[in-house]
Structure 1
Amino acid sequence: MARKTATAVPASPPLSWSSTFTLSPSPPPPSLTGDKLLLPQAALENLLEAASQSAANHLQSATNTRTTANDPASWDYVPPHVALARRNEARQQLPHPLTFRVTNLATGRIAYAGIREFSAEEGQVVLSTFLREGLALSTIAATSSNGSEQEQGDDTEVEIRIKVEAVNVPKGTFARLRPLDAGYEEDWKPILENHLQKNFTTLSVNNILAIPRLSSHQPGKKDFKFLIDQVKPEGTEAICIVDTDLEVDIEPLNEEQAKESLRQRELRKHAEASSGGQINIDGPKEGTISDGNFVRFNLKTWDRSKPIWINVPEENVDILVSTNTIQGYPKLEEWTWARFDGSKPIVIAPDDPIIISAREVRISLQVYEQTLIDPNSKKPMPPPTKFLLSITQTTHQNEDEEDEEMAETTTPDSEICSNCKRSIPKRSMMLHQNFCFRNNILCPHGCGQVFKRGTESDHWHCTECKAFGLNTPDRNTYNKHMDISHTARRCPSCDYSAGSLPELASHKTTTCPNKLILCRFCHLVVPQEEDTDFTAAITGLAPHETSCGGRTTNCHICERIVQLKNMEVHLKNHDLERKSQPLPRICRNVNCARTASDNNLGLCSVCFGPLYSSAYDPTNQALARRAELRYLTQLLKGCGKSWCTNEMCKTGRANRKPPLPAVPPKEATALVKPLVTKEGLQGGYTSHPLHFCVDETISKRKHLAEMLSFTQDSQGKSGWAIEWCVKAIDAVALEATDELETMNRAREWLEKFAVKRDE
């Protein structure tokens, strides 16, 4: 052990390197996030050269300190080829992670950074937005630019010199963050973990972290800012957060902020409590709703073989529907199914891929805010609207429509009015037409709508699609249609531009990189990220899940190392192998609880042992005599064991309740003869059972196996055949200490490896 310790590879020496660069005038690319920077290719060559020199100096000093390093007889002796290999290896290695101290030479401001890549222009350094703010570069650039314009009158840019120095930042163990805004009661720790892991190498004291919000409590603010107040180890300006167990503590900035956060939390709870709540099939809900507000319901149980009909008779109440695949309830710009025109109910087919995998249907009702569709309207806000929400799974809607169509069909005594296109009796057609042409107007655009004369100005047809409608005194439905169907909108979470509200909703619920998902591997609510390789539709995994699922773990069945994203398929292979197994062969002795061994009698090795003989017996006559002698000994003398209940044993017959009479010698011989014939013995597993006495341990195992065969599995389904239970007891009995542990281990074994009766 001493020699192994002495010849261990020395610790990485500190890297001594620094250089001065000009700040790149170009803005940082979107991929440069957190505390990352870009250096030129020449900087990498200089770093490797500095690492090689530092390693050589470190090895030389270590060799000089050992007085016996050149003595082959010493434990500290290092062969020349080993020293050369270490030196060559050190020349090609850089510290991990590679951290830098970045200094703004104009102001002396310092920041700590990690490297993204060596792809900057020669002589230039590219800093992320976070580093620019930490070094106050945006303020300096703006001031210099203004001064240049005032003095020179041109667009000359002032060079900003940045010193970059390689430093060894200690591994951090603790960081205390203080939120700069109220609302810190949200579960920020998993969000911070995900954000820091992807974007940061270091944390510096007194810097400000801007974390993207995952909720929409305050939609006007996209980032939540934290002040890095304290780090450990103490006495350091910065800590490294790579490959370390970092504890993060979030504390309020002051008492006023804590009170404000508590107040916001109570307001949100009150808003959530005033929502619609749970609804059932054929259980209508009624209530009121104001402009711009939502009333939310959730449906948890329904017949998955029938369509779902969701309807609100009130035309000005919009219906937004989604499932649990979207975090939270549906919103104006985030839904899967919607109805805005008030004409028909929403029908969700049972074979819709989204509803097949859904555990819950979520419904939001809203009244479109008047100021959104008619900003110049001076009408007062309308009073709250009453609504009646009904969810059914019947087809009575189609039947009603068919009845109406049948009622409007012509008969031999009727004809169609040329103005309103209704079926009118022939005897009253003249009077009807005189009234109809004087009071009704047929839409000239061919939509078939008939409206009262004088209200034709309220009837509209969209010039960009086939939609039409009628404005009401309280609602401008044309403006609402144009706002929903023909107004361009930009996704607030990314750079996507949609031509309409349905297009934006489809984007936010499918391909938006910032769509929130509950990761099935890390169990955090995180953005799904951008699908750059187009594999999400094939694998069914969001891009974040594809990356997160690349971590490995051990299979609980075979202990193989498997990626998390492949674990489901791996377990299905185990399940297929389990179901394809044949029924185990157990010992032919009905009193035994072991699996059969390889012999022609179908017995286990323990039961076959007393009958075994190494003598040559091609016809098995000697084997038959030994079996007959064993039977007769049991019937006439007994085994003398108090636990025995073998019906072919004198002791076992006496121990039964009620006791069985003893078998006389003459009857015993006649009873045994058919059991020990050549055909009966060599029939093996498929022939009649054998009845030999066993010890107490095997007797208890037999009882446990019978009890186990009558129980059900963990899902309450049919249990396992007695053969599988015997094999399970036999597999775990040696490791268990008592009967209860034996039963528990056997059930676990059966769940993993056995085939159930109904499979």
Structure 2
Amino acid sequence: MSSWSKRLPAVTSMLEGDKLILPPIVLEELLEKFSQTPPVVAENEEEIPSTSQLPSPLTFQILNPRTRIITHGGVLEFNSPDEKACLPQWMYESLSLSEGDEIIIRLKELPKGTWARFRPLSLEYKEIKDYRAAFEDYLRSHYVTLTAGEVLSLRQADSIYKFLVDSLQPENAVRIIDTDLEVEIVPFLANGSVSVSNKRHQRKEDKENEISVGQIVKGAVLKDEYTYWNLKSIDRSHGLNIHLKILDRGDVDLVISTESKPTIEDHIWSDFSFSSERSIYISPTNSAYATSEEFCIGVYGHSESQTNYELLITNNDLPIPTVTSKELDDENANKVGYAHCKNCGRWVPERTIVLHSNYCERNNIKCKLCGKIMRRDEEVFHWHCELCDQPGDSPEEKIKHQEIYHKRRECSCGYFTDSLPSLAAHKQSDCPNKLITCRFCHNLVKKGEIPTNSRDLLEGLTGHESYCGNRTIDCVKCNQSVSIRNVPMHAKMHEIEKQSRKLPPLCRNVNCIRTAENNTLKLCSICFGPFWSPANDPMNRKLLTRLARKYHHQLTTGCGNAWCKNKYCASGTSKSLDPNAAASKLVPLLQESQSATSPAIYLCVDQIVTRKRILADILYNGQDGGGIPGEYGMEFCVEAIEMSNEDLVEARKYLQANAPRI
């Protein structure tokens, strides 16, 4: 690669990975440099003209001339203003740059990486379920190079996991584009942990427990911490009722998800109420519940002190109804002997209505907005939200309501909302940063933006799946380029073609493997040769005479070949018949040769044909251990032996790939 370097002022950017944004002057200089590269003289002394096309990918060595610290990176765009180099924040800090410092970027060709060892810098790396998929997706999207000693910040949704690039091969700096990189993760070292700018990773260790349906468990949780309960052995033919009861004056939030460790910002079901008892019902027809493999319940501490609680999970087909005292009083409405109190609306016995009314008007008051009856001394604590008119009965409850439903929050994808439930719903549905397992590449990747193609929308593809599914691969059968999404349909087309495939019938001679010809006996040209005659024989009497003479010679004298396996040959059976016994066998053989249902003829063949026929019989009868008898036609078994050079293992593979099943 041509030598080129340039000194540029460095500034930080919000980029992820190792890609820089460089000024347009860099691109101009590189193009000019490559266009001036002298032509290459080949061995035949002919000049190969140079080209101005830049190498791909472009990789650079980045040097801080003040500290002599070196790292490497790629380029994202050539549109940086003011002739400055925009560096990712981590690279800016790694090079120990200060405001106003300059860097030297040098074009450098790096070898392809073959192996990388990463060392996690915190225990949270264990939350990653699939290291291979996580590294493959993130490195492919954000990195062009890796440099030993740098810190890699791997992001998955809202979580950041930091890894030290411990070692690389074949050199300490490699490029990772268009290469198979083997990844190794070494155990976490306690003295190597660093602080991570991620709220989820800043909290203390979350406790995980197991719970079963019908089991009552007790737990405790501190402020801003979680305790998790993993539900096992779920009968998904019934719904679930999750009931939580607070045992003291504390407050918690109940969040549930089909993924491990749900949070108040990322969950499917939740209860953020302020009552002492919380209940969530999940219907058996809920798709997330019915198709889930995991089921995790999280209890989040909301009080300043520790909160004790009791958790019960039951199987129910309908939610457990909550019967209020007002509903019980309504049962007495308009009954004989009961009167209606105008202040609180309750129906009380007529004999006590005066006493009740006087007491009620003196001590109770009714809210004009929600109609709640409360004591007069409680009115000062009763409130209604100015934004949504939600009622409450304590200042703490109002503060919590404002925080849950009216505090501006931002998702990592840039989505803004004022409600925790709506943020959680966004992260579970249309958030482009939601992690999914791609149905095409089977990697754990970000979902991506909603596809604009109507066909993709109808098929329920995500943004990543739309891109991934439209990538093409070459079909191993027909060498055509096929989009990955159409591979199953294309394979089905080949299967249909295979099932409708036909081969010409085999020679009527059961010991032969050649194709039958259009002659009277339906034999191949080799087997029919001894029976051909130029004489006119409209009734085939002379032909049958010659066939009878051939059979008689086989039964009495034989063909004389040691390899013969013909059961109607003295050499094949090692038993010669006398002329009379042989003659007695001729009648059924001649009748069989003229039969329409079993037109078999038994003639001797050469050694090669005999061997191939024996191997074809083994395939046809499933005696090779790879199939069932009669699964494939004899003509395809013969073809498989021919195509595999008489290798039974390869012949079986050929049958499975090319022959229709009977």
CA distance in 1, matches of 2:503, 2:21: 65
Report how far residue 388 of structure 1 moved: 2.9
Q: Quote how far apart the aligned CAs of 1:269 are.
A: 11
What is the CA–CA distance in structure 1 between the aligned matches of 2:296 and 2:306, rounded to whole Å? 21
Alignment partners' CA distance in 2, 1:624 and 1:346 = 84
Give the TM-score taking structure 2 as reference length.
0.69
Residue 19 of structure 2 aligns with an amino acid whose one-letter code is K
Q: Which amino acid aligns with 1:422?
A: E
- Cα deviation, residue 251, structure 1: 5.6
Letter in 2 for 1:567: V
How far apart are 1:503 and its partner, in Å?
A: 2.3
Contact 2:118 2:186 in 1 (8 A): yes
Q: Is the 8 A contact 2:332 2:338 kept in 1?
A: no
Residue 314 (structure 2) aligns with: 389
1:166 aligns with 2:107: yes
What per-residue deviation string (whole Å, max 9, x for no partner) do you get for residues 459-491 of structure 1? Answer: 9987766988x98x9x98887776655554322
Pairs within 5 Å for 1:57-68: 59=40
Shift of 1:689: 3.5
Distance 1:254 1:419 in 2: 62
User: Could you tell me whether the CA contact under 8 Å between 2:475 and 2:481 is conserved in 1?
Assistant: yes
Q: Is the 8 A contact 2:243 2:311 kept in 1?
A: no
**1:310 is matched by which residue type in structure 2?**
L
- Deviation track 1:566-593 (CA, whole Å, cap 9, x = no partner) reads 43333232233345x1676754859568
8 A contact 2:451–2:461 mirrored in 1? no
What are the equivalent positions in structure 2 for 1:8-87 lying under 5 Å apart? 14-23=1-10, 28=13, 30=14, 32-56=15-39, 59=40, 76-79=43-46, 83=47, 86-87=48-49
For residue 736 of structure 1, report the CA deviation from its aligned partner: 6.0
Identity of aligned residues (%): 24
Q: Structure 1 253/635 Cα, relative in aligned 2: closer, same or farther at 3 Å?
A: closer
Cα deviation for residue 295 of structure 1 reads 0.7
Is residue 63–residue 103 contact of structure 2 (8 Å, CA) maintained in 1? Answer: yes
Aligned CA distance change for structure 1 residues 275 and 616 (closer, same or farther; 3 Å): farther
2: distance between equivalents of 1:198 and 1:424?
Answer: 68
Among candidates 283, 291, 297, match of residue 347 of structure 1: 283
Aligned to 2:632: 724
Contact 1:322/1:361 (<8 A) preserved? no
1:387 to partner: Cα distance = 0.9
Preserved contact between residue 548 and residue 586 of structure 2 (Cα < 8 Å): no
Counterpart secondary structure, 1:333: coil
> Counterparts in 2 of 1:531-542, with a 5 A limit?
531=450, 537-538=457-458, 540-542=460-462
Following superposition, the deviation at residue 296 of structure 1 comes to 1.3
TM-superposed deviation, 1:346: 1.2
CA separation of 1:168 and 1:622: change in aligned 2, threshold 3 A: same
CA distance 1:42–1:732, shift in 2 (3 Å): same
Q: Is the 8 A contact 1:636 1:665 kept in 2?
A: no
Equivalent of 1:568 in 463, 488, 502: 488
Cα distance change, pair 275–250 in 1 and its aligned pair in 2 (3 A): same
Structure 2 CA distance for partners of 1:489 and 1:116, relative to 1, 3 Å: closer
* 1:605 has 2:524 as partner: yes
Displacement after TM superposition at 1:724 (Å): 1.9
**Conserved 8 A contact 1:635-1:663:** no
Q: Which runs of 5+ in 1 are unaligned?
A: 1-13, 64-75, 142-159, 259-267, 406-416, 656-661, 714-718
> Does 1:115 find its partner at 2:75?
yes
Offset at residue 385 of structure 1 (A): 0.5
SS at match of 1:599: coil
Instruction: Report deviation, 1:78.
Output: 2.5
Q: Paired residue for 2:227, among 264, 271, 293?
A: 293
**1:692 aligned partner:** 602
Could you tell me the TM-score, scaled by structure 1's length? 0.62
Letter in 1 for 2:331: R
Given that 2:118 and 2:167 are in contact with CA atoms closer than 8 Å, whether structure 1 keeps it comes out as: yes
Flag the 1:532–1:34 CA change in 2: closer, same or farther, 3 A: farther
Rounded Cα–Cα distance in structure 2 between residues aligned with 1:607 and 1:421: 103
Q: For residues 58-92 of structure 1, what are the alpha-carbon distances to aligned partners after superposition, in whole Å with 9 as ceiling and x for unaligned?
A: x4xx69xxxxxxxxxxxx5524xxx2xx23xx142
CA distance, structure 1, for counterparts of residue 542 and residue 368 of structure 2: 104
**1:54 alignment partner AA:** T
Superposed counterparts of 1:353-364, under 5 Å: 358=291, 360-364=292-296
Is 1:128 aligned to 2:88, yes or no? yes
Distance 1:314 1:22 in 2: 59
1:631–1:466 Cα change, 3 Å:
farther
> SS where residue 239 of structure 2 aligns?
strand
The Cα RMSD (Å) is 5.6
- Cα distance change on mapping 1:17 and 1:487 into 2, 3 Å: closer
* Partner SS, residue 724 of structure 1: coil
Asked whether the equivalents of residues 21 and 163 of structure 1 are also in contact (C-alpha less than 8 Å), the reply is yes
Q: Secondary structure at the match of 1:568?
A: helix
Counterpart of 1:518 in structure 2 is 437
Deviation at 1:548, TM superposition (A): 5.4
**C-alpha separation in 1, matches of 2:496 and 2:22:** 53
Alignment match, 1:411: none
Does residue 335 (structure 1) correspond to residue 273 (structure 2)? The answer is no
Secondary structure at the aligned position of 2:312 is classed as strand
Instruction: Report the residue type matching 2:107 in the other structure.
Output: A
The answer to which of 168-177 and 495-504 deviates more is 168-177
Counterpart secondary structure, 1:310: strand
SS at match of 1:572: helix
1:15 partner amino acid:
S
Q: Please give the secondary structure, in 1, of the residue aligned with 2:488.
A: helix
How do residues 366-385 of structure 1 correspond to structure 2 at under 5 angstroms?
Answer: 366-371=298-303, 381-385=306-310
Q: Equivalent residue for 1:209?
A: 151
What is the SS of the residue equivalent to 1:34?
coil
Q: Equivalents in 2 of 1:436, 1:517: separation in Å?
A: 65
Q: Distance in 2 between matches of 1:294 and 1:332?
A: 13
In structure 1, distance between residues paired with 2:553 and 2:404? 92
CA change 1:637–1:170 in 2 (3 A) is closer
- Tell me, yes or no, if the aligned pair for 1:591 and 1:692 is still in contact at 8 Å: yes
Q: Secondary structure of 1:119's partner?
A: coil
Structure 1 pair 362–338 and aligned structure 2 pair: CA distance change class (3 A)? farther
Structure 1 residues 177 and 599: CA distance shift in structure 2, 3 A: same
Would the aligned equivalents of 2:254 and 2:299 in 1 still touch at CA under 8 Å? Answer: no
After superposition, the Cα gap between the structure-2 partners of 1:311 and 1:176, relative to the gap in structure 1 and judged at 3 Å, is: closer
From 206, 210, 218, the counterpart of 1:275: 210
Q: Does 1:312 align with 2:227?
A: no
Shift of 1:347: 1.2
Map Cα deviations across residues 126-176 of structure 1 (whole Å, 9 max, x no partner). 333344334434x335xxxxxxxxxxxxxxxxxx55544434556666666
Change in Cα spacing, 1:723 to 1:205, as seen in structure 2 (3 Å) is closer
- Structure 1 residue corresponding to 2:428, chosen from 509, 512, 517: 509
- Tell me the equivalent position of 1:224: 162
Mapped pair 1:702 → 2:617: yes
Query: Shift in Å at residue 48 of structure 1?
Result: 2.4
TM-aligned CA distance change 1:486 to 1:755, over 3 Å: farther
Which residue of 1 is the match for residue 141 of structure 2? 198
Residue 5 (structure 1) aligns with: none
1-structure distance, mates of 2:113, 2:496:
47
3-state SS in 2 of match to 1:383: strand
> Deviation string for 1:536-587 (max 9, x for gaps)?
63555544455556766554555656554543333232233345x1676754
Structure 1, residues 370-418: CA drift from partner, whole Å, max 9, x if none?
43xxx7xxxx64433031332x6xx5x49x99xx99xxxxxxxxxxx99
Matched residue SS, 1:505: helix
Q: How far does residue 121 in structure 1 lie from its aligned partner after superposition? A: 3.5
Provide Cα deviations, 1:507-553, integer angstroms capped at 9, x if missing partner: 22233233223345655434344457568635555444555567665
